[in-house]
Structure 1
Amino acid sequence: MQSVFKETPLPWAQLIPLLAVRLSEPIQYAIVLPFVYKMIEGFNIAESPKDIAFYASLLFSSFAVAQTLTIMYWSRLSDRIGRRPVLLMGLSGNLVSFLLFSVSTSFYMALGARSLNGLLAGNVAVIKSVLAEISDDTNRARIMALLPLVWNVGSVTGSAIGGIFADPARMFPGVFGGIKIFIVFPYLLPCLIGSTVTLIGLFSGLFVVKETLVRKSGSLSETTPLISPKPQRTIRQLMTPTVTTVMFNNALTSLVISMSDQTYPIFAATSSDDGGLGFDSRSIGYSLAISGLAVFYLQLVVYPRLEHRYGALYCYKLGQMLLIPYLLLMPCLSSIAGIGVGLWPVLVGLLLVRVAGQVLAFTSINLLTVNLAPTREDLGFMNGAQQLAMSATRVLGPLIGGLAWTWSLKHGLAYPFNYHFVWVLSASLTSFSLYLAQSIPDTVNKFAADLNR
């Protein structure tokens, strides 16, 4: 008789406050995208519009540079003092630094605020550890799939907030035209709205989120969370060949997505004569928000079924295969934008392909990383190492993307070194990542910490 798969019910009482904590970072990230071009333009630091992409890349990279310096510290600290206090420190830092960013009056002030945000941003690695600790093999895929879902929900919401409420004194003069603070700080309002989500996450962490890694003595039950008295494994012991390959693939995927995602708003804001779409902030926000709506169905319905049937490794490869046509076709839309006919249906279609590829790739790489942890007390290290790799490539991604975009516009060479260049480069890196993934064994589809009990 064929066994019936029975899934452990999701622990929503813990999941909902944890997801509220996680939601703040993607909202803060996405709010900036629709207006970053205009913000840098207003700082009067770029010599020409073609140089704005370079300064935008510095702004985006500063967060990742700073996060790279501290992410392992926060991850290992959570293995020692617990997950909850680290989450609360991260949220407090996010709130302060984001508000500083919103009132920046110069490029270097904005750069400093973004850097401070990165130094204090260790929550994502810690939350992955918590989710692994409150799940089992029957529901871990669904629970881990919620992380990119929350990211995409935050991206959709943040893009809409940033696109609609940026420069409110000019966009809504009847409501905000007489409020001086919104004239002096045109990007304060969307950042204030985004900060309310961070406050909700902070209160959730204070009053609702429970510690999942605590040291206890006395009698134990099956649900008692523990820190193992065993010494922590060394980095050399943990970084096996399979772990190294998965981490490298994770880094490549993150590099490509950070390059393309942070090039898109610059590409969209650039005039069609220079290889862009000629969008304003509102159109950029709408395009990101509309395409992001599909993530609910993909994340909650499609991904768990695919992962249960084929495994996380297969889903990762499928996600990579979807990203390649998106990357190659996106710059072709500039010619359609110049004509002015049929742009939006094609654009939304391509952005939907992007969302599907990212959902499959990022959800799977998160799950594979968790599965590779030999024991539960190594989860902090594994998730921290993954986030370190992602942070490092998110330093390079915006820089490479911004420099490649600026270089291609200034030199005016033929294809593929024209405005297609950054997209073709991203597609080539994705193809290489897909090639490397062929060497990852299928054993990564099982949670090693449960197998090693």
Structure 2
Amino acid sequence: MSTLDSYETTPLLQVPAKKRTPLPWTQIIVLVLVQIAEPITSQVIYPFINKLIAELPITEGDETRVGYYAGLIESLFFVTEALTILQWSRWSDHVGRKPILMIGLSGLTLSMLFFGISKSFEGLIISRCLAGLLNGNIGVLKSMMGELTDETNIAQGMALMPVTWSCGATLGPVLGGWLANPHERFPSIFGQSEFWREYPYALPCFVAAGYCAFAFLLTLFCLKETVEVGKPRDQTLVEENALPTRSGEIPLSLKQILGYPRVVVVVVNYAFLAFLDIAFRALQPLVYTTSIPNGGLGLPPPSVGLALGAFGLASGLFQTFVFVYIYEWLGPKPIFRLSISTYLPMFILFPLMNLSAMHNGVNWLTWVEIAFQVSFYVLMDMGFCTINIYIRASAPSNRSLGATNGLSQTSASIARAIGPALSNSLFAVSRQHNLLGGHLVYAVSAVVAGCAIVMTNYLPKDIWHQESTESDSQ
């Protein structure tokens, strides 16, 4: 039997249908409010980052060079996060989830404050590196969600995580576009202060930092610890909800975890999804703000913020009200494959938008094309719900859940570090040297999407069950 066949057949285990366990909504809501801090802080800069970079001396007034430096800024968070997120996640298995979350929220708060008052490219670099080094929250949050759910309600619980990201991805760009240059947009309130003229992008960064501080207090006072350090796992407060332990109660080493083929398959698929997602997200504001002759649409920051917010809002509503039913109807593998496949038309729509704008300006046709992108993006976002379920099921044991999530997030962070720098640099090179008519970046992105579609073949049709875990590691 081939490797592919074994992955396909391993989880096909007949299990009795179980009644769905109610979610512990109080803790889930707290978890969601804490998680939303990260997408707000990561997305709030997108409406104005390209304009900010263009105003710095480093570009020497050349608009075509903005993509290089904007891509670097967008990548740095994930570069530094990749260096530490696995260790943060593993520490959370030993010292508890809450201390790690509070360290991460502190890092995000300080980073956004510093970013808002940075007047140099070096200052922007330092602030993004600080955020990445101190932040390992997403892996820890996924572990907590896995511990607060069981096999009957994990799809419902995990569906909330990309919904939360979508809410933050909606709010962040809207705040960034709406609050940038407050002395011009709200002169009666901010016009008299020289500070807002000197630091026109400080206000959205300060608002994002304020939310992170709120999330820190929420974690400190309201979020219950799901790992009772020093006690057997069966005494923790979530044991009756958590999935059964599958390989003992001692956290496994990284080498042992990587000995499970299912973990490797899930990690690679997640890395592909993360790369495509961040490459698309990096190209969006770049294409939307770049002038039409240089391959973009020439939209102002407020319009960019509203457009990016529409993506998050539409996706959030869809995941909230529709995903669980589609998951129960189709199962995880078809959904994930569909999710990856949507990147092909989403990337192809970028040059089509520019082409229509070159001939007719930004008109109704351009906005129809953006609406199509939104529709495909909604379908794509189901992939994150699904891969989170795969990650949770692939963990060798409950005490290794943090490390497994950390490993998957490390791979995603590496992919997200490469994505913006590569896509934005390819955009700049494509335009400067007129490669494939200036559209080489989209062709390369489509090829990567094709490789990701092939990789989905190695995922099982159904989620693994604990009974098959031991044989999987042998």
- 1:376 match: 398
Q: TM-score, normalised by structure 2?
A: 0.89
Q: Deviations over 1:282-311 (max 9, x none)?
A: 111111112322123311122111112222
Q: Does 1:68 align with 2:86?
A: no
Question: Which residue of the partner structure matches residue 193 of structure 1?
Answer: 207
Match of 1:160 among 157, 166, 174: 174
Mapped partners of 2:50, 2:71: distance in 1: 11
Equivalent in 431, 452, 456 of residue 433 of structure 1: 452
| Secondary structure at 2:438 match in 1 | coil
Give per-residue Cα distances to partners, 1:146-189, cap 9 Å, x unaligned: 11111110011011000111011122223211112111111111
Q: Distance in 1 between matches of 2:150 and 2:46?
A: 36
| Residues 376, 449 of structure 1: 8 Å contact kept | no
Deviating more after overlay: 4-13 vs 282-291: 4-13
Q: C-alpha displacement at 1:436, in angstroms?
A: 1.4
- Mapped to 2, the partners of 1:328 and 1:200 lie a distance apart of 40
Unpaired runs of 5+ in structure 1?
Answer: none
CA–CA distance in structure 2, aligned partners of residues 232 and 4 of structure 1:
30
Q: Which residue does the alignment assign to 1:357? A: 379
Report the CA distance shift for 1:7/1:451 in structure 2 as closer, same or farther (over 3 A): farther
> For 2:288 and 2:251, how far apart are their aligned partners in 1?
48
What do residues 8-52 of structure 1 show as CA deviations (whole Å, max 9, x unaligned)?
111111011111111111001111000001111122211310000
Q: What is residue 51 of structure 1 aligned with on the other side?
A: 65
Contact 1:19 1:150 in 2 (8 A): yes
Matched positions, count: 446
Inter-partner Cα distance in structure 2 for 1:218 and 1:290: 46
Paired residue type of 1:270: T
For residues 160 and 139 of structure 1, what CA distance do their matches in structure 2 show?
32
1: CA distance between counterparts of 2:290 and 2:140? 38
Could you say which residue in structure 2 is the equivalent of 1:335? 355
Unmatched 5+ stretches in structure 2: 1-15
CA contact (8 A) 1:373 1:448 kept: no
Cα drift, residue 223 of structure 1:
4.6
TM-score (norm 1): 0.93
- What's the Cα RMSD here? 2.2
- Report the alpha carbon displacement of residue 360 of structure 1 after superposing the two structures with TM: 1.4
Query: Does 2:282 align with 1:269?
Result: no
CA–CA distance in structure 2, aligned partners of residues 219 and 127 of structure 1: 18
* Cα deviation code 1:253-310 (max 9, x no counterpart): 1111111111111111111112110111111111111232212331112211111222
CA distance in 1, matches of 2:152, 2:232: 30
Q: 2:50 aligns with which of 25, 34, 37?
A: 37
- Distance across 2 between alignment mates of 1:388 and 1:336: 39
Of 235, 248, 252, 2:254 maps to 235
Structure 1 runs of 4+ aligned residues shifted over 4 Å read 216-230, 449-452
- Report the AA paired with residue 243 of structure 1: V
Q: CA deviation at 1:220?
A: 6.6
After TM superposition, the structure 1 stretch with the greater mean CA deviation from structure 2, 144-153 or 316-325, is 316-325
CA separation in 2, counterparts of 1:42 and 1:292?
A: 28
Q: Which residue of 1 aligns with 2:311?
A: 291
Aligned in 2, Cα 1:288/1:222: closer, same or farther, shift over 3 Å? closer
Whole-angstrom CA distance in 2 between matches of 1:329 and 1:217: 54
Return the offset for 1:381: 1.0
